[in-house]
Copies of this chain bind each other. A is one copy, B any other.
Amino acid sequence: MYSETVELNHLMRTPGEWLRGTGPHAEIVMSSRIRLARNLKAYRFPHWATKRELAQVRHNAERAAAQSPHIVTAVTLHLENLSFVDRQMLVERHLISREHAEGQVAERAVVIGDQEMIAVMVNEEDHLRVQVLRSGLSLKEAWAIAEELDEQLERHLVYAFSSQWGYLTCCPTNVGTGVRASAMLHLPCLVMTKQIGRVLHAMTKLGLTARGLYGEGTESTGNFFQISNQVSLGFGEAEIVDKLELLVGQVVEQERNARESVMRGTREALEDRIWRAYGTLKSAHIITSQETTDLLSLVRLGVDVGTLPTLSRSVVNALLVTTQPAHLQKLEGRALASHERDVRRAELLRNQLATSGGE
């Protein structure tokens, strides 16, 4: 238990690679994610398995992961050893799902690779949920890593696989390749110009799903949208990834056009909003998570369009995560009531932005 807290505290100190704000189209695509759902043939799906079976799954999964060159420097965390806040912190870092944090299944774990680029959830809905997360529009790159990792794991694990259906998963929407690919997009100007509804509708018609910052069931905040493929049955992996990369590229182009149009038409007014948002973040003494995300969204746009040239995108990206409730509580080392968090959050923002230039 002690070592896991140490590991977690260590993890907190540096933001994950996906927050670096680099990679293709990083001014619009925050991150790209590949997720594989895999199950072990010898055991029942987590929701039907006994604690003993789940313990075996975890043991086998961890042993297999430890042998993958991709996750040599991995951190392994058993969720029963983590506090509520610790688990929420992992959700805020996009390392585990909300279901995994809150779930009732025993013997849950997560194996986290170097710079948080890889995360393997054990005993979530499926025995294994392998995630590769990269900054920018890097779906193909992420897929290449996921594929290698998958092969490395399969050397030590026997997957549940049907020659007819492909990889078997708990939820039918994952059966087949078991692949879900997604990209987190920052689309402030499609929102401002009221084109976002049309764009998301078009995505849905093409078989994609749009969600908020924290995945399924969450509203979009701060103009962040997670776009992912909807079904995995009947398509090849590379095909799924290619298709998503292509479509995301089109959305990127539309946001880029919207930014140009806004900058052409109402540059002054937009820049005023950006500066005011920045001023508020640097001045407030009480600020909610929602307002923070909304203002950081404007500030991030300000970095991208050149209004705030000395502020870095990675600082803004990191603040989107470190201003979240669990991160604030970890930083403080104790539970904080909602109002206390609003005060600490404002303090953190003032400190971080004061030392990050941007004038």
Closest B residue, CB atoms, query A350: B275
Contact between chains at B275 and A343 (CB < 8 Å): no
What is the 8 Å Cβ interface bit string for chain A, positions 275-286, against chain B (1 contact, 0 not)? 110111011111
Contact between chains at A282 and B284 (CB < 8 Å): no
- Complex alpha-carbon distance, A284 and B307, angstroms: 13
Kindly name the residue among A271, A276, A343, A346 whose own CB sees the greatest number of chain B CB atoms within 10 A: A276
- Complex alpha-carbon distance, A344 and B283, angstroms: 22
What is the 8 Å Cβ interface bit string for chain A, positions 153-195, against chain B (1 contact, 0 not)? 0000000000000000000000000000000000000000000
Kindly name the residue among A269, A278, A280, A285 whose own CB sees the greatest number of chain B CB atoms within 10 A: A285
Q: Is A219 an interface residue (CB 8 A)?
A: no
Closest B residue, CB atoms, query A284: B276
A306 to chain B, nearest CB (A): 14
Q: Is A268 an interface residue (CB 8 A)?
A: yes
Stoichiometry, as copies per complex, reads 2
- Complex alpha-carbon distance, A271 and B285, angstroms: 7
Q: Is A272 an interface residue (CB 8 A)?
A: yes
Count of chain A residues with Cβ under 8 Å from any Cβ of B?
16
A110 to chain B, nearest CB (A): 37
Which chain B residues lie closer than 8 Å to A279 at the CB level? 279-280, 282-284
Contact between chains at A280 and B286 (CB < 8 Å): no
Task: Name A270-302 residues within 8 Å CB distance of B.
Answer: 271-272, 275-276, 278-280, 282-286
- Complex alpha-carbon distance, A272 and B288, angstroms: 12
Which chain B residues lie closer than 8 Å to A346 at the CB level? 272
Sample of 8 further A-B pairs with CB below 8 A, known A275-B283, A275-B285, A279-B282:
A268-B286, A271-B285, A272-B346, A276-B284, A279-B280, A279-B284, A280-B280, A280-B283
Q: List 12 A-B contacts (CB under 8 A).
A: A268-B285, A269-B286, A271-B285, A272-B285, A272-B286, A275-B283, A275-B284, A276-B280, A278-B283, A279-B279, A279-B283, A280-B283
